[in-house]
Structures are given as structure tokens and as C-alpha cells.
Amino acid sequence: MKESELGIQAIDPTLYNADLAPIPHSKRSWGAFEIFNVWSNDIQSLFGYTLAASLFLTYGLNGWAVMAAIILAGIIVMYLVNLTGKPSVKYGIPFPVMVRASMGVRGANLPAMLRAIIGIFWYGVQTYFASTAVALLITALFGAGDGSTFLGLSGVAWVSFVIVWLFQIAIFWQGIERIKHFLNWAGPLVYVVMVVLMIVVWLQAGSELLPAVSTIFSGDDSDSGSAVGAFLAIVGTMVAYFAAVVINFGDFTRFVKTERQMKLGNLLGLPLNVAFFSFIALIITAGTLVLFGEALTNPADIVERVDSLPLTIVAALTFFAATVGINLVANFIPPAYDLANLFPSRISFKIGGLITAIIAFFVGALWVSLISQIGVPGFVNALGAIVAPFYGIIVVDYYLVKRQHLDMQQLFSSAPDSAYYYVKGWNRKALMAFGLAALFSISSVWVPALAALNGFAWLIGAGLGGLFYYVLMRHHAVAAAPTRS
């Protein structure tokens, strides 16, 4: 996009490149179906399935309550992303540019880099999970190898990991349209395979399946107080799973034609999608309890034990596609933008993605031997807690302080008197709000005395970030007048 199309007379090259520039509505091609597939690939990834299935088993809660908690989380996330997605639909800007309005044109690098670090971590982890599907396929076709391992991964696992890592770079390098097409067929296809897997497990389990489901749904919630705590923890854990996407949802909605299409895609992709997928996860998990004497939460393990070569091949390819799809969208695109925002004149969107992939390689390689040892829910909550306050800051700033009006020219200006320059490019009040809220939200994950808050650290951090920011900026909210857009 040309500078003249922005209405920008004098931009700062340290704040602008073509990848960060607003996308005009005439050049957008995403609709509700694309947004739906962002979410369907997210929850239907191998990591997402494992998390959803484990929630039915981890908390000892009635299965109906677990299902309700997961659906409630989907509704909460839907409303959260509607708020963060709207500004980028209106202006066509990505997250690191949007956050300049609240953090300052230089201060925006803080949330952008923290988000990039989290995205890189998730990218490495999801690359490993996608590689397990490829390993399943290679093992089914050619055998498992000699059994030797390095850093907890076998030779087949290492080959699979490298294949997935290279494949994702190849897709990303072809641009956002190629990623969109990849998502649009991977999302629906994975549903077909999951339904087929559910039917196969159901048929093999026979009459014993429903009693197994009843066992999961009976739970152990005699203590109503602990049951409420477990319910809230599940809601918080699921919200935290989506947290990284919630923060930077504008990276995707900048490609969407209208706000209505964004909201429809979120409705279909979150509460409705999460409810149906959780039901499938429940049935399959109960079936594994009957068939194998233990509840398996990794679909790759399930397919392997079902012992059907055709199903193994189709399922492996589908799980691979779904996991790669969300990895590209949620964990590759955001860090690429965030790194480009750090040095726009030197780092393009593609170079930012390449840096992301190189660092993430080592994260994924160490997942089995080191990173996974802290536990999946704790990992999800800790990463989410770090960036949670920025959600509250962004939303409060846009809706209450800026009153839904941004000045595109000044978002790319470092002039001392520009609207978003604050003090040397940093909004110190926003930085203070972040620090106070982040301290509490991270403590709720890691401090034993605050263990009761563990599951919903993200929601607490986001709420406190918004509250502290509003208190510190309330005079600006009263005095603020809509700026030209």
C-alpha cells in the first residue's frame, strides 16, 4: 500500500513498511468462513484435542459441568475477540500497530515482543505435535526404526519434526492467501475424520461405551466449593489456551471485509464449534477407556491402537493439516508482524517469519525432554498470564479512552507532538498498568499461596490491566476528542 493511500504526509521509516500498512477494504478477501476456520483449526489441532480431552479427566468434575465450562469459555472468548477484532476490521492494521495507540509508538514494541516470544514458543510446541501425526504415518508405512532416541525423540520423530518444520516455512513463504486456502480445506476435513474416528471407536466399544461415558459424567463433585473452583479453573484454562490469539486477533481481522462477517465467524467457530468438538473428544476418550483400559487423550495414540491402516493414513494427514494450519495463523503470522514492527526498515513480514521458525525449531526439539515436564495446563496458563494485561489495556484504550477513533497518520509518526508519542514514544501510565497487573497474574500461576487462582490467571490479568489503565488514564478519557481517521 502506498503512503499516499494512507493520507500520510511524513512517515517515520522506523515505524512503517508495506506489511504494517493499513489494508483497504477493497483488497480484503476474508469472510466468516475464514474466521471460522481459524478457530476450527485451533481447537482441532492435536494440542487442542489433548487439552480438551484431559479436562474431562483432570479435575474429577461431573462431565456435564466440564462440558458447560468449555462452552462457557468459548462464549467468553467470542466476546473478547469481537472487541479486539473490531478496530482492525475498521482500520486494516495489525496488532503491533494497533497497540501503539495505548503503549506509544515505541512502547508498542514491549507487547509486540512478548507476544512474539509466546508465539515462537507455541510455534515450536505445535510443530512438535504436528510431527507426531507425520511420525504415526511413517511408522504405519515403514516401521518404527531401531528405537534409539535423542532428546526424547526417535529417529522417525526427528525426521517427522524436520519435515513439518520445512513444510510450514514453504506454505508461509507463499503468502497469506495460500495460508487461507490451506485453512479452508483443513478445517472441514478434520471434522470428517474426527467423526469417523468417533464412529469407529464407538462400534468397537459397543454396549460398554455408554457406561464408560456415564462414569466420566458422574465425576466426584461432592464438595460444592471445590466443584465451583474446578469449574472456574476449566473455564480459565480454556480461555488461556486461546489467549495468544485473543490478544492479537487484529492480525487476522485486518483481512476481513466487514465486522458482521467477523462476528458470524466467531460465533460459528467458538461456542458452537467448541461444544461439538468437545462432545467428540468425550465420546472418543470414553471409548479408549473401554477398548484399551486407559483413557487416551492424544488422538495420534488412539489412531495407532485402532489398528486400521486406511484410517491411520487419513487421520495422520488430517491432524497434521489442522495443527499446521493453526500454527501458521496463530503462531507464525503474529511473531512475523511483531518482529517486523521492531525494525520495519530491516525486517519484513517474511524475514520475521523466518526468524520465528529458526528459534522455534529449538523449542519444539526440547518439548519432550524439558518443556513439557511443567505440565500442559500450567504451560498454557503461564504463557497466557504474561500478556493478559495488554488485552485489558488495548480494549479500555480503544473503547473508553480513544472512543473508537484512531489517527492513522500519527500511528506511523514519531514527532514529539504526535498523539501517540507520549514520553519519548512510551506511555508510562500504560507501562505501569501492565507491570502491576502482570505481577499479579503471573503470581497466580506460580505462587503456591495463590494456587486457587491458577486456572483463571489470564482473566484476572486482563481485568486488572484494563482497570489500572483506566484509573491512570481516566482524565484523558474525559478530555479525549475523536481524532480524524
Q: Looking at the domain 19-479, which fold is it?
A: Hydantoin permease (1.10.4160)
> Given this model, what pLDDT does residue 62 score?
80
Cα 287 off chain centre by: 29
- pLDDT class for 399, splitting at 50, 70, 90? very high
Query: Which of 11-15, 192-196, 209-213, 269-273 tops mean pLDDT?
Result: 269-273
Q: Which three cell numbers stand for residue 353?
A: 517469519
| pLDDT for position 12 | 80
Using CA of residue 465, residue 445, residue 358, residue 245, what is the dihedral sign?
negative
pLDDT reported for residue 374: 63
Q: Are 244 and 119 in contact (CB under 8 A)?
A: yes
Higher pLDDT, 9 or 216: 216
Give the range with max mean pLDDT: 4-13, 144-153, 166-175, 281-290.
166-175
pLDDT digits (tens, 9 = 90+) for 52-74: 888 888 877 888 888 899 999 99
Q: Is the Cα dihedral 341, 346, 350, 354 positive or negative?
A: negative
Instruction: For residues 209 and 289, give the distance between their C-alpha atoms in angstroms, rounded to a whole number.
Output: 9
Does residue 215 or residue 434 have the better pLDDT?
A: 434
**Radius of gyration of the chain from its Cα atoms, rounded to whole angstroms:** 22
Residue 234 has pLDDT above 90, yes or no: no
Strand partners, 30: 256
Cell readout for 67 is 462440558
Query: In this predicted structure, what is the pLDDT of residue 3?
Result: 46
Whether the pLDDT of residue 6 is over 80: the answer is: no
pLDDT at position 167 over 90: yes
Q: What is the overall mean pLDDT for the chain? A: 84
Considering Cα of 97, then 101, then 106, then 111, what sign does the dihedral take? Answer: negative
Q: Is a pLDDT exceeding 60 seen at residue 256? A: yes
**How confident is the model at residue 159, as a pLDDT?**
93
pLDDT over 90 at 326, yes or no: no
State which of 178-187, 214-223, 429-438 shows the largest mean pLDDT: 429-438
- Per-residue pLDDT of 417-435, as tens digits, reads 899 999 999 999 999 999 9
| Measured distance CA(134)–CA(168) in Å, rounded | 13
Q: Per-residue pLDDT for 457 more than 80? A: no
Query: If you average pLDDT over each of 41-45, 251-255, 322-326, which comes out highest?
Result: 251-255
| DSSP, res 30 | B
For the cut 90, the answer to whether the pLDDT of residue 97 exceeds it is yes
* CA 56 – CA 62 distance, rounded (Å): 8
Residue 447 DSSP SS3:
coil
Mean pLDDT along residues 262-272:
95
φ/ψ of residue 425, rounded to 5 = 90, 0
pLDDT(171) > 60:
yes
- The residue ranges of every structural domain in the chain are 19-479
Percent of the chain with pLDDT over 70: 91
Q: Which of 83, 82, 112 is nearest to 335 (CA)?
A: 112
The burial of 10, by beta-carbon neighbours within 10 Å (0-12 exposed, 13-18 middle, 19 or more buried), is given as exposed
Q: Which residues contact 384 (CB under 8 A, 6 or more apart)?
A: 239, 240, 241, 243, 244, 457, 458, 461
How far is the C-alpha of 388 from the C-alpha of 434, rounded, in Å? 9
Please give the Cα distance from 25 to 35 (Å, whole number): 16
Q: Are 380 and 457 in contact (CB under 8 A)?
A: no
Residue 225 binned pLDDT confidence (cut-offs 50, 70, 90): low
The predicted structure's pLDDT at residue 405 = 94
42: confidence class by pLDDT, cuts 50, 70, 90: confident
Long-range pairs for 352-355 at CB < 8 Å and ≥24 separation?
353/169, 353/172, 353/173, 354/169
Query: What average pLDDT does this structure show over 176-198?
Result: 83
pLDDT at 453: 72
